[in-house]
């Protein structure tokens, strides 16, 4: 017997209002391509992960939707896209951009934002509208409703989603940098927050298994990550220069923004509008070093700690001195693979509501 088809993201078309000439529609279309054909230009597409934060995102979104319609009804046509599984947000975003949407708004945590950002690209290149001309661009927005929402912390934003809607309503945008990850036999990948290597990436991999515990998932992930952990010698190449060895690396973090792991200010001088990435390397840390210095890692005052170094780069390649193929790499809290990997920045790649 054939396996049942995996449900695709559904899209709810904009409701009619006194400012709309369309008739009300409450139907959910199971094919995002069909939905795209029915959308109109001027759409703001809200990509919602209903299962985020153990289902709280979906509940909060339903409560927020009437306020959003009231606040934005005069400015755009609201399209609600509900994702149903991994990578759904990538596909939905690509379709929305091709169809000429004016904005795609990620509603959820850092994982949802990560997928939406990757939907702005396909096979390493930006996705473009099919019939809006070369000058049209789709803006990126964020309503943080997830477990970590670390990217929002960089801007000092509150947890009130109504503040996020106000930012979108104001329409002020800046050119946001996007990080790029390249590895052999892997499709080019993109990140907006922090990419990291070795212990922190391994801890993040395990933390994803404990999301049901909220921010405690990061504690459980760290405990699992430390089990059997060994610091490793690595090679790095900065901005296309010469390879050099970095001994006893515990973790290497590449920040486009400042925070990861549920509020740890790991790359404290990173600026997603600067055109560069901050690389922070932790060397020869023991488990007790993290206990003793955890407050400094969360406070962003760790750059002066012994065994911590920081550099600003446009690109960095990272590889093992002795290849084992088991050094974890992640970005925005999502598992990417293993070393070797090259990281670089695309300055001002996306318009961002801020």
- Which of the following CATH numbers is that of domain 42-171: 3.40.50.10330, 3.40.50.150, 3.30.70.20, 3.40.50.720? 3.40.50.10330
Q: Mean pLDDT throughout 85-110?
A: 96
Q: Are 269 and 276 in contact (CB under 8 A)?
A: no
What's residue 37's pLDDT?
40
The pLDDT assigned to 46 comes to 98
Q: How confident is the model at residue 21 (pLDDT cuts 50, 70, 90)?
A: very low
Taking 90 as the threshold, does the pLDDT of residue 2 lie above it?
A: no
Considering 32, 88, 99, 110, which one is annotated as catalytic? 110
- Active site includes 110? yes
108-142 per-position pLDDT tens digit: 999 999 999 999 999 999 999 999 888 999 999 99
> How many residues are present in the chain?
354
Mean pLDDT of 278-285: 97
pLDDT of amino acid 203: 87
* Statement: residue 22 has pLDDT above 70: no
Is the pLDDT at 10 greater than 80? The verdict is no
Domain ranges in the chain are 42-171, 188-347
State pLDDT tens for residues 299-347.
999 999 999 999 999 999 999 999 999 999 999 999 999 999 999 999 9
Query: What pTM was computed for the model?
Result: 0.87
Q: What is the pLDDT of residues 197-225, one digit of tens each?
A: 999 999 888 877 777 777 677 777 777 87
What pLDDT score was predicted for residue 9? 54
* pLDDT of the residue at 224: 80
At residue 287, the pLDDT reads: 87
Q: Give me the CATH topology for the region 188-347.
A: Tumour Suppressor Smad4 (2.60.200)
Which are the contacts of 345, defined by CB distance < 8 A and separation ≥ 6? 177, 178, 179, 180, 256, 275, 276, 277, 314, 315
In this prediction, residue 44 carries a pLDDT of 97
DSSP code string of 179-210: EEEE-TTS--EEESSEEEEEHHHHHHHHHGGG
Mean pLDDT of all residues in the chain? 88
CA distance 310 to 312: 7
């Amino acid at each position: 017997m054939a396996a049942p088809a995996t449900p695709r993201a559904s899209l709810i078309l904009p409701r009619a209002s006194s400012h709309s000439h369309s008739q009300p529609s409450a139907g959910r279309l199971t094919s995002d391509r069909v939905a795209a054909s029915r959308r109109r230009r001027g759409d703001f597409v809200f990509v919602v992960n209903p299962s985020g934060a153990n289902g709280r995102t979906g509940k909060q979104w339903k409560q927020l939707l009437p306020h959003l319609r009231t606040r934005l009804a005069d400015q755009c046509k609201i399209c609600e896209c509900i994702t149903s599984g991994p990578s759904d947000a990538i596909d939905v975003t690509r379709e929305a951009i091709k169809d000429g949407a004016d904005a795609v708004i990620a509603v959820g945590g850092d994982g949802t934002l990560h997928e939406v950002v990757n939907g702005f690209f396909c096979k390493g290149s930006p996705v473009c509208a099919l019939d809006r001309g070369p000058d049209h661009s789709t803006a990126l927005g964020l309503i943080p409703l997830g477990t970590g929402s670390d990217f929002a912390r960089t801007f000092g934003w509150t947890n009130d989603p109504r503040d996020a809607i106000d930012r979108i309503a104001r329409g002020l945008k800046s050119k946001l940098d996007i990080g790029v990850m390249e590895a052999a036999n892997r499709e080019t990948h993109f990140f907006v927050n922090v990419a990291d290597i070795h212990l922190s990436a391994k801890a993040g991999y395990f933390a994803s298994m404990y999301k049901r515990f909220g921010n405690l998932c990061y504690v459980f992930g760290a405990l699992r990550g430390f089990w059997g952990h060994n610091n490793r010698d690595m090679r790095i190449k900065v901005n296309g220069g010469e390879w050099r060895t970095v001994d006893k690396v515990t973790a290497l973090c590449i920040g486009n923004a400042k925070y990861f792991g549920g509020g740890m200010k790991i790359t404290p001088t990173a600026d997603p509008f600067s055109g560069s990435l901050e690389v922070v390397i932790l060397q020869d840390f023991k488990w007790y070093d993290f206990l003793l210095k955890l407050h400094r890692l969360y406070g962003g005052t760790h750059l002066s700690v012994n065994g911590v170094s920081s550099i600003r780069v446009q690109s960095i390649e990272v590889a093992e001195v002795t290849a084992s193929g088991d050094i974890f790499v992640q970005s925005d809290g999502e598992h990417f693979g293993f070393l070797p990997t090259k990281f670089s920045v695309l300055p001002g790649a996306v318009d961002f509501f801020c």
